[in-house]
Amino acid sequence: MRGDKVNRLLIRDETESDYRVVRAIHEAAFGQSGEASLVESLRVAASPRVSLVAELEGERVGHIFLSPVRVEGQPPRGACAGLAPVGVKPSAQGRGVGSALVREALGRCPALGWSAVFLLGDPDYYARFGFVLAAPLGFRYESELFDSHFQVLELEAGALAGGQGWVRYHEAFSAL
């Protein structure tokens, strides 16, 4: 069963012909248009970036985006990315699509020079990929209110050691 599930799932780079469907995926996943609009802004303004589409049984059902972040304070060694947003159509959730998108996106990071990835999300979901809370390591997002959900994954051993500060996302996030 497991192999069958994997065979029916394809993760690939987004192309221009996906833009309309990607918008619909995020609107359905989040129940609002903010994340879909964020993707449209980041496509134009963020570089480098990772933008991947998931096809399940030939249907486009998921999308993930990673863009550069800046650390104000003592930056870690190497550049860092922010993972946001990731969305899967509600009808396709719980079938491994989100996990496959996250794993493939993380695999793309070293080639882009990213040594760590930050995100704001539910620790119960992201722990499976190795994400840990960022605040105990000295990294914060916006305010202490986010400490319980702001997470980081070190991709290059030791990249975060000695770093600390406020993690700033691309200015397009301020419209969210």
Ligand X SMILES: CC(C)(COP(=O)(O)OP(=O)(O)OC[C@H]1O[C@@H](n2cnc3c(N)ncnc32)[C@H](O)[C@@H]1OP(=O)(O)O)[C@@H](O)C(=O)NCCC(=O)NCCS
Residues within the interface to ligand X (CB under 6 A)? 29-30, 84-88, 93-99, 121-122, 124-125
Give min distance, CB of 157 to ligand X, in A.
26
Instruction: Please state, in angstroms and as integers, the Cα–Cα distance from residue 76 to each residue in 80, 112, 132, 166, following that order.
Output: 8, 16, 16, 11
Strand partners, 163: none
How far apart, in whole angstroms, are the C-alpha atoms of residue 60 and residue 141?
32
Give min distance, CB of 94 to ligand X, in A.
5
Note the residue count of the chain.
Answer: 176
Give min distance, CB of 88 to ligand X, in A.
4
Strand pairing report for 59-74 and 50-56: antiparallel
Residue (37 or 93) nearer to ligand X, CB: 93
Residue (102 or 163) nearer to ligand X, CB: 102
Residue (58 or 94) nearer to ligand X, CB: 94
Residue number of the CB closest to ligand X reads 98
